[in-house]
Structure 1
Amino acid sequence: MYVIRATQKLLKEMDCKVQKTDISVPLNTWHANMFTLNRRKTIVFMNDLSRLSLTIVGVKKAQLKNVEELFVNELRNYLMSEEIEEKVISRYIEENEGMIITTTNNRSVIGTLNELSTR
Structure 2
Amino acid sequence: MIQLQATHKLYERLPLTSDGQFNVTPRTEWIYKQPLLDINPLSHWHGNLVTLQRRNCVLLVHDETRFPLVLPALTKPDFVELNDRFDDALMNTLLKFGAEGSHMETAHRYLRPLQVDTQCSRSVQGTLNRMKEEFDHLLHYDQLNVAEITGYNAGAWLAESPRTVKGRGYLWPHKEMMGLLSRLASRE
Q: TM-score range by the shorter chain?
A: 0.7 to 0.9
Contact 1:40 1:58 in 2 (8 A): yes
- 1:39-61 Cα distance to aligned partner (Å, 9 max, x none): 11110000101111111111111
Structure 2 counterpart of 1:43, from 58, 66, 73: 58
Q: Deviations over 1:7-44 (max 9, x none)?
A: 11011111324647xx9756421100011111111100
Structure 1 segments of 4+ aligned residues over 3 angstroms from their partners:
17-20, 23-27
Partner of 1:60 in structure 2?
Answer: 75
**Aligned residue in 1 for 2:93:** 78
- Are positions 1:115 and 2:127 aligned together? no
Q: Distance in 1 between matches of 2:40 and 2:63?
A: 9
Q: Is there any run of 5+ residues in structure 2 with no aligned partner, and where?
A: 21-37, 135-188
CA distance in 1, matches of 2:98, 2:89: 14
TM-score under structure 1 length normalisation: 0.85
Deviation per CA, 1:57-85, whole angstroms, max 9, x where unpaired? 11111110111100000110010111111
What TM-score, normalized by structure 2, do the two folds share?
0.56
Cα RMSD (Å) of the superposition? Answer: 2.1
Distance 1:111 1:18, change over 3 A: farther
Task: Give the letter aligned to residue 6 of structure 1.
Answer: A
Letter in 2 for 1:72: D
Higher strand share: 1
Contact 1:41/1:60, CA 8 A, preserved across alignment: yes
Cα separation, 2, equivalents of 1:18 and 1:24: 23
Task: For residue 97 of structure 1, report the CA deviation from its aligned partner.
Answer: 2.1
More RCO (CA 8 Å, sep 6+): 1
* Structure 1, unaligned runs of 5 or more: none
